[in-house]
Amino acid sequence: MVIDMNGLFALAGNQNSGKTTLFNRLTGSNQHVGNFPGVTVEKKDGQIKGLKGVTLVDLPGIYSLSPYTSEEVVTRDFILKEHPTGIINIVDATNIERNLYLTLQLMELDLPMVIALNMMDEVRASGNSIDVQKLSQMLGVPIVPISAGKNEGIGDLTLAVKELMAAQPPRAKLDFCTGEVHRAIHSIAHIIEDKAKAAGYPLRFAATKMVEGDAPTMKALQIDENEEHIIEHIVEEMEEHLHTDREAALADMRYSYIENICADCVVKYQETHEQVRSEKIDRLLTHKYLGIPIFFAIMLVIFWLTFSVIGQPLQDLLKDMLGFATVQFSGLLQEVGVSEWLRSLIIDGACVGISSVLSFLPVIVLLFFFLSLLEDSGYMARVAFVMDKLLRKIGLSGRSFVPMLIGFGCSVPAIMATRTLSSERDRKMTIVLTPFMSCSAKLPIYGMITMAFFPDYGGFVMFGLYVLGIIVAILSGLLLKGTLFRGEPVPFVMELPSYRIPSGKSVLLHMWEKAKDFIRKAFTIIFLAAIVIWFLQNFDLHLNPVSDATKSILASIGSVIAPVFIPLGFNDWRASTALITGITAKETVVSTLSVLTGSSTDAQLAASLQQIFTPLSAISFLAFTILYMPCVAAFAATKRELGSLRGALLTALYQTGAAYLVATLVFQVGSIWFH
Amino acid sequence: MTLDQVKPGYAAILSVIGGEGALRRHLLDMGLTPNTRVTVRKVAPMGDPIELFLRGYVLTLRREDAAKIEVVQVEKA
């Protein structure tokens, strides 16, 4: 039966508590689920199934309501400003002590609340038990035991939400503060009562925040100097009596209360099977000597499967199919008598552009298939644990390692993968640095140049290029850490969740989400870029169509820009034009150079290249290629993840600037060296 | 003694939580409160961070942050 009523519920809980899984169960909507701390960056909403008109908002996973991380601020602001009808608090029953810490803070918000006690199946299977009824009584909050993963208890939870809306809900018991803290909270509540009411703040929450010295709440309540003085005095007195400071006193008060409750309601003979299993798995995966080799082996297998075994055939197949469709479509357009230039625009501009980007789709989907396996299983948190020390040196944390590694495959999914980073600062920095990891699309360029200049040292040159990219990334990290991204890095205090077998549905959802993202991009920004490039390639400066590529606007721009590269050792319009077309996709550097030099064989191309470059300027050309701004697809991803065009442009400018500087250095230092 | 000096396989009782600002608050929120028993489970391959077990769950912490936490009664876990 579908009930028609209006309501807005907030779903709040710790990270790794199964919150997003529960959200999907309750709403049936498509949303990504992850087993990595902090997957939900933005809040998402959906309609609760069976309760028409009741919206559920999935808030970021948080451990507390303090105003320190952006996730905590988002959650606080939502609850305090949007005035939801009620809260669904998801609690991981296998980790109940720490989860209830947030519950106690949510209770202070004085909103109708129901606790969804998740993973009860794991608790029971281990022979442990929780007296749900007693716990509910002690907290004064209705509790529904569920297992979101196994879809158990979801109907009961929906029913509980309905009851919460229908009846006068029971008030949560707020008598968990004792002694000196109790005295302080109540004295302050008395003082600020009117102001809290005026500001629309729950009194108990506001009073607790006063004790904590919470600046945003002080400001919202417009506490004057006199009141602040009195409050400070009360808190100082409390600190003096307790021989501790305000923050520790409150955390201690909450945890002590939870310990007492758990002593009464929770019977825990042993760790759950999942916890025991996790410890065993970690003996290998985070092993002192084997941990790092195993991680690289896993990544190697993923790359191998993605880029060669499965990905390559799929990519080729898709390319063939799209090529076939394009030819058919072209024939159709000719038949119906569409003018030649329009046909060229549609086929050579739009279709070819989109096909070249869409051919990346299999690789991206595959990579995200493996990534969501790593993420949902809980392994990604271990990678962060193992790699943290290395990345800390450049001002990042271990969590940035995986996106950077994916960058060696393709910058697009790498930039998209930064979504898993919980710190805004780390995220931005990772997005800027990732494209320095040489992506696989640049391989044909390296192949072309080494074939022409260093046929015997191919491997050595390639290795050097990868190392160059990494070195520039490290230097950039050090530079950015000291300038643009100064300020405290978010402390690396991270939970290692128990390993869990990823659900097929969740992995598929994740893949679908990323594929959708990418396809949308292919048909918007990349579509536009393809048409612009087509136009530049097919018209001359008088806007007359050209048949000879050397007379196009693009070639003219290439000629104008060419002298810019004199410090890098090459001054040829074909090289600069190739670098411009390389922005659409890096492989096109090769095809552009072939077309513009009129080479049809590798030998011809090599001969032409030897006229354009010297061995040294070929190296500086390569250095520029590996470092300068990534392709439009990656640029679009950067814009989307940074949420600003300006940021994306600045990033591209920085990358291109770094490329120019490094390539100039390579050529100039090289010139002196070999002189 | 501070938490970073506790060897893997040993447990200790936390006495004073140092540090300041967001870090300290986060440590307290995660359950690292005075009188809590914490087991040091292992050290990451590169020697940092460290892996702790407390309140029925696993937490990782950098050494420099663990050095701000004082402990007493160190014993074999």
Do A147 and A225 lie in one domain? The reply is: no
| Amino acid letter, residue A179 | G
Tell me the mean pLDDT in the region A361-383: 85
Nearest C-alpha neighbor of A492 from the set A425, A419, A417: A425
pTM, entire model = 0.83
| Amino acid letter, residue A520 | R
Position A1 pLDDT exceeds 50 = no
Domain CATH code at residue B54:
2.30.30.90
Stretch among A123-127, A428-432, A515-519, A549-553 having the lowest mean pLDDT: A515-519
Q: How far is B37 from chain A (nearest CA, A)?
A: 13
Which residues in chain B touch residue A119, judged by CB atoms under 8 angstroms apart? none
Do A194 and A87 lie in one domain? The reply is: no
Task: For chain A, say whether B59 makes contact (Cβ under 8 Å).
Answer: yes
Q: How far is A196 from chain B (nearest CA, A)?
A: 24
Tell me if A64 and B42 make a contact (CB, 8 A cut-off): no
Range picked from A173-182, A282-291, A341-350 for highest mean pLDDT: A282-291
**CB hemisphere CA count around A235 (13 angstroms):** 22
Residues 6+ apart with CB under 8 A from A343: A330, A333, A334
Do A114 and A147 lie in one domain? The reply is: yes
Q: How far is B43 from chain A (nearest CA, A)?
A: 8
Task: For chain A, say whether B27 makes contact (Cβ under 8 Å).
Answer: yes
**CB hemisphere CA count around A491 (13 angstroms):** 25
User: Which pLDDT value is given to residue A237?
Assistant: 94
Task: For chain A, say whether B58 makes contact (Cβ under 8 Å).
Answer: yes
The confidence band for A316, taking pLDDT boundaries of 50, 70 and 90, is: confident
Largest CA distance in chain A: 91
User: Which pLDDT value is given to residue A283?
Assistant: 94
Quote the number of domains for chain A.
3
pLDDT in tens, A583-616: 888 878 887 888 778 777 778 889 999 999 999 9
- The verdict on residue A71 lying in a domain is yes
Tell me if A288 and B45 make a contact (CB, 8 A cut-off): yes
Position A37 pLDDT exceeds 60 = no
User: Which pLDDT value is given to residue A43?
Assistant: 62
Position A666 pLDDT exceeds 90 = yes
CA angle B66, B71, B72 (to 5 degrees): 165
Could you give the CA distance from residue A129 to residue A137 in angstroms, rounded to a whole number?
Answer: 16
- The verdict on residue A137 lying in a domain is yes
Residue given tokens 């050595």 in the structure block: A460
Tell me the mean pLDDT in the region A92-109: 95
Output the six-digit token pair for A97. 């002590």
Position A204 pLDDT exceeds 70 = yes
Which residues in chain A touch residue B58, judged by CB atoms under 8 angstroms apart? 278, 495-497
CB atoms within 10 A of CB A588: 21
Task: For chain A, say whether B34 makes contact (Cβ under 8 Å).
Answer: yes
| Amino acid letter, residue A411 | S
- In the listed set A222, A243, A264, which residue is the last one of a domain according to the structure? A243
Tell whether the torsion through CA atoms of A73, A71, A141 and A99 is positive or negative.
negative
**Residue to substitute from B46, B59, B68, interface A, most A β-carbons within 10 A:** B46
Stretch among A158-172, A187-201, A381-395, B33-47 having the lowest mean pLDDT: A158-172
Residue-range definition of the domain harbouring residue B31: 3-76
User: Which pLDDT value is given to residue A420?
Assistant: 67
Tell me if A69 and B22 make a contact (CB, 8 A cut-off): yes
User: Which pLDDT value is given to residue A41?
Assistant: 47
Do A156 and A192 lie in one domain? The reply is: no
User: Which pLDDT value is given to residue A659?
Assistant: 96
User: Which pLDDT value is given to residue A2?
Assistant: 46
CB atoms within 10 A of CB A50: 17
CB atoms within 10 A of CB A289: 8
Do A668 and A528 lie in one domain? The reply is: yes
Do A207 and A79 lie in one domain? The reply is: no
Nearest CB to B24 within list A247, A388, A492? A247
Tell me if B44 and A286 make a contact (CB, 8 A cut-off): yes
- Provide φ and ψ at A47, rounded to 5°: -90, 135
Q: How far is A427 from chain B (nearest CA, A)?
A: 19
Share above pLDDT 90 across residues of chain A, in percent, rounded to a whole number: 44
Which residues in chain A touch residue B8, judged by CB atoms under 8 angstroms apart? none
Q: How far are the Cα atoms of A99, A121, A124, A659, B1 from residue A151, in angstroms, in the given order? A: 21, 11, 16, 52, 47
| Amino acid letter, residue A329 | F
Do A667 and A536 lie in one domain? The reply is: yes
ipTM rounded to 2 decimals: 0.96
Tell whether the torsion through CA atoms of A349, A642, A394 and A485 is positive or negative.
positive
Position A230 pLDDT exceeds 90 = yes
Do A152 and A191 lie in one domain? The reply is: no
Give the containing element (helix H, strand E) for A132. Answer: helix A132-139
Output the six-digit token pair for A614. 């010297």
The confidence band for A5, taking pLDDT boundaries of 50, 70 and 90, is: low
Average pLDDT score, chain A: 87
Torsion of CA B66, B67, B72, B75, to 10 degrees: 60
Of residues A98 and A487, the one with the higher pLDDT is A98
Angle formed by the axes of helices A291-304 and A273-285, nearest 10°: 90
pLDDT in tens, A48-57: 888 888 889 8
**Which residue does chain B place closest to A72, by CA atoms?**
B26
- The verdict on residue A372 lying in a domain is no
Average pLDDT score, chain B: 94
**Which residue does chain A place closest to B50, by CA atoms?**
A385
Could you give the CA distance from residue A620 to residue A221 in angstroms, rounded to a whole number?
Answer: 61
Q: How far is A506 from chain B (nearest CA, A)?
A: 24
Stretch among A170-179, A208-217, B33-42 having the lowest mean pLDDT: A170-179
Task: For chain A, say whether B29 makes contact (Cβ under 8 Å).
Answer: yes
Could you give the CA distance from residue A161 to residue A142 in angstroms, rounded to a whole number?
Answer: 10
Could you give the CA distance from residue A62 to residue A76 in angstroms, rounded to a whole number?
Answer: 10
**A144-162 b/e with 16+ CB inside 10 Å = b?**
bbbbbbeebbbeebbebbb
Do A200 and A152 lie in one domain? The reply is: no
- In the listed set A137, A166, A195, which residue is the last one of a domain according to the structure? A166
The confidence band for A525, taking pLDDT boundaries of 50, 70 and 90, is: low
Alpha-carbon Rg for chain B in angstroms: 11
Chain A residues whose C-beta sits inside 8 Å of any chain B C-beta: 63-64, 66, 68-69, 94-98, 101, 244, 247-248, 251-252, 255, 268, 271, 275, 278-279, 282, 286-289, 291-292, 385-386, 388-390, 392, 488, 490-497
Nearest C-alpha neighbor of B26 from the set A406, A71, A374: A71
- The verdict on residue A287 lying in a domain is no
- The verdict on residue A531 lying in a domain is yes
Tell me if A286 and B45 make a contact (CB, 8 A cut-off): yes
The confidence band for A340, taking pLDDT boundaries of 50, 70 and 90, is: confident
Could you give the CA distance from residue A35 to residue A371 in angstroms, rounded to a whole number?
Answer: 11
Which residues in chain A touch residue B48, judged by CB atoms under 8 angstroms apart? 388-389
- The verdict on residue A542 lying in a domain is yes
Tell whether the torsion through CA atoms of A411, A413, A415 and A420 is positive or negative.
negative
Domain CATH code at residue A18:
3.40.50.300
How many beta-carbon pairs under 8 angstroms link A with B? 119
**Which residue does chain A place closest to B26, by CA atoms?**
A493
Q: Report how far Cα A200 is from the mean position of its chain's Cα atoms.
A: 34
Give the containing element (helix H, strand E) for A113. Answer: strand A113-118
Nearest CB to B29 within list A251, A288, A389? A251
- The verdict on residue A214 lying in a domain is yes
Do A236 and A98 lie in one domain? The reply is: no
Which residues in chain A touch residue B37, judged by CB atoms under 8 angstroms apart? none
**Residue to substitute from A66, A385, A388, A425, interface B, most B β-carbons within 10 A:** A385
Per residue, the 3-state secondary structure of A331-396, as one string, reads HHHHHCCCCHHHHHHHHHHHHHHHHHHHCCHHHHHHHHHHHHHHHHHCHHHHHHHHHHHHHHCCCC
Quote the number of domains for chain B.
1
Do A227 and A87 lie in one domain? The reply is: no
Residue given tokens 């929120």 in the structure block: B29
Tell me if A251 and B48 make a contact (CB, 8 A cut-off): no
Give the containing element (helix H, strand E) for A448. Answer: helix A443-453
Could you give the CA distance from residue A333 to residue A337 in angstroms, rounded to a whole number?
Answer: 6
Which residues in chain B touch residue A288, judged by CB atoms under 8 angstroms apart? 42-43, 45
- The verdict on residue A463 lying in a domain is no
**Residue to substitute from B3, B20, B25, interface A, most A β-carbons within 10 A:** B25
Residue-range definition of the domain harbouring residue A93: 3-166
Query: Residue B63 burial by CB count (10 A; 0-12/13-18/19+): exposed, middle or buried?
Result: middle
Strand-pair category, A129-130 with A113-118: unpaired
pLDDT in tens, A256-302: 999 999 999 998 878 889 999 999 999 999 999 999 999 889 988 88
Do A124 and A161 lie in one domain? The reply is: yes
Tell me if B60 and A64 make a contact (CB, 8 A cut-off): no
User: Which pLDDT value is given to residue A88?
Assistant: 97
Query: Are the CB atoms for A385 and A402 separated by under 8 Å?
Result: no
Tell me if A101 and B31 make a contact (CB, 8 A cut-off): yes
| Amino acid letter, residue A246 | R
Which residues in chain A touch residue B15, judged by CB atoms under 8 angstroms apart? none
Q: How far is A246 from chain B (nearest CA, A)?
A: 11
**What's A131's DSSP letter?**
-
- In the listed set A145, A166, A187, which residue is the last one of a domain according to the structure? A166
Tell me the mean pLDDT in the region A525-551: 79
Tell me if B59 and A248 make a contact (CB, 8 A cut-off): no
Tell me if A101 and B29 make a contact (CB, 8 A cut-off): yes
Is the bond into A497 cis (omega within 30 degrees of 0)? no
Strand-pair category, B10-17 with B37-43: antiparallel
